[in-house]
Amino acid sequence: MSKVYDMIIVGGGPGGYTAALYAARAGMSVVVLEKLAAGGQMVETPQIDNYPGYIDGVDGYTLGQQMCKHAEKYGAQTRYTEVTKLSLQPEMKAAETPEGVYYGKTLVVATGANPKHLGVPGEQELLGRGVHYCASCDGMFYRGKTVVVVGGGNTAAADALLLSRVAEKVILVHRRDTLRAARVYHKPLMQAQNVEFYWNSQVQEIRSGEIVVQNVHSGQKNTIPCDGVFVGIGRQPASELVKGMLELDEGNYIVGDETTATNIPGVFAVGDVRAKALRQIVTAVSDGAVAVHYAEEYLATLTE
Amino acid sequence: MAVLHITKDTFEAEVLNSDKPVLLDFWASWCGPCRMIGPILDEIADEREDIKVCKVNVDEEPELASQYQVVSIPTLLVIENGKIVNQSLGAKPKAQILAML
Ligand SMILES: Cc1cc2nc3c(=O)[nH]c(=O)nc-3n(C[C@H](O)[C@H](O)[C@H](O)COP(=O)(O)OP(=O)(O)OC[C@H]3O[C@@H](n4cnc5c(N)ncnc54)[C@H](O)[C@@H]3O)c2cc1C
């Protein structure tokens, strides 16, 4: 039989690599299975200003690389491969990948979250040719152009601010009448000369060169000419892998309390994929550390 | 073979007139998802003798980017005999990139 790790971690974002760091330092054999590269969602932002210790901010790609190297320094391993199927039995956990099956006594689900789609006509058809989900990646192609940002939370607010420095005009479309984003974004957005707001407006359709919105109160439709649309309406958990195995809430987040333990003994859920109030890097890394604490407790029961 | 960095001056010879299929990556240094797939492309370039892996930096070569209507990076194109035979947007796992070829 192949090697059985003390811990398998699915996903190499901040939650996954913190679990790897703590597990390796606790003397456990641990492997991180990551489909792309270290960092997860952090790589989409060039500037993280609320990770304690980095007074001048840090870019997400670098922070991800650092977290990976930090865990590997203590013996954690990384395999760049996608987990396509899980088998979660109390006595043995198995993760299937195109390169083979990995076995573990414990398993941490750290698969994070992906951007939510609007689900309106035109969105899929114009993907990457006018419809975007990553302003820091694609914003610069709209230098001197008009763009629409959809949403009212932190992602949309940060996108709108970033784009206001590149684009000629930014139009923020939000279905409520105020921003849900953190206060630090409000003033700079309101003061930006080239940012306009369409409040109480819901997107109906995206076409090449324009977007159709409808006022949620009056029902009136407006067609706004624009060169590109950046969708920032939040995230959805990457929990398809564990559907039918782990308990999920109505939003498809994995149910696990502050211990990060799930309904299967020895299986833990950390970071954005877990049901929780605040999805940030600091809460993801916190989960990673806590998961290892309870994983050690669980491993001790196996040897008793 | 190592990844080849392409400019508008070398594009025709290295990409359009290549005798092997070309996996072409449009990228930028400030784009996190582009940097994510960088090591994957290096690996593919090392492992596959039958193809050529090329990169275009969109900051340095805006003409090439606009010629191929790239407004989202990373954009990956597979070019054979000067024609696009496959393309994909965004960071993808290695297996999915290989499947494009
Ligand atoms: C644009 C943007 C800006 C942000 N800015 C900030 C900020 O300033 N401060 C802050 O605190 N937070 C910020 N966040 C949120 C923060 O990035 C997330 O809360 C955090 O990354 C969650 O970490 P995680 O480990 O749970 O998952 P993720 O970071 O989502 O990582 C999950 C990883 O799992 C991998 N994965 C998924 N499925 C599989 C599979 N089947 N097989 C193998 N690997 C898999 C993914 O490739 C990914 O690398 C931002 C998010 C975005 C998108």
Domain ranges of chain B: 4-100
Q: What is the ipTM of this complex?
A: 0.83
DSSP A65: H
Q: Which CATH superfamily is domain B4-100 in?
A: Glutaredoxin (3.40.30.10)
Protein residues whose CB sits closer than 6 Å to any atom of ligand 1: A 10-16, 33-36, 40-42, 44-45, 48, 50, 82-83, 110-113, 155, 238, 241, 271-273, 279-282, 284
| Confidence (pLDDT) at A303 | 78
CB A62 within 8 A of CB A152: no
Of B57, B77, B49, the C-alpha closest to B5 is: B57
Q: Nearest 5°: phi and psi at B38?
A: -50, -55
Q: Give the tens place of pLDDT for each residue, B63-73.
A: 999 999 999 99
Is A43's Cβ below 8 Å from some Cβ in B? yes
Of A66, A92, A73, the C-alpha closest to A24 is: A73
pTM of the shown model:
0.90
Average pLDDT, chain B: 95
Distance A232 CA to ligand 1 centre (A): 15
Distance A39 CA to ligand 1 centre (A): 7
**Which residues, in sequence order, are bridge partners of residue A100?**
A97
At position B59, the amino acid (one-letter code) is D
List per-residue pLDDT tens for chain B, 101 residues long: 899 999 999 999 999 999 999 999 999 998 999 999 999 999 999 999 999 999 999 999 999 999 999 999 999 999 999 999 999 999 999 999 999 99
Radius of gyration of chain B (CA): 12
Q: Which of residues 72-91 of A touch B (CB under 8 A)?
A: 80-82
| Confidence (pLDDT) at A1 | 56
CA–CA separation, B73 vs B67, rounded Å? 15
Q: Nearest 5°: phi and psi at A115?
A: -65, 140
Residues 6+ positions from A268 with CB-CB distance below 8 Å:
A19, A106, A107, A108, A109, A256, A260, A261, A262, A291, A294, A295
CA–CA separation, A26 vs A32, rounded Å? 16
pLDDT beneath 50: ranges in chain A: none
CA–CA separation, A30 vs A25, rounded Å? 10
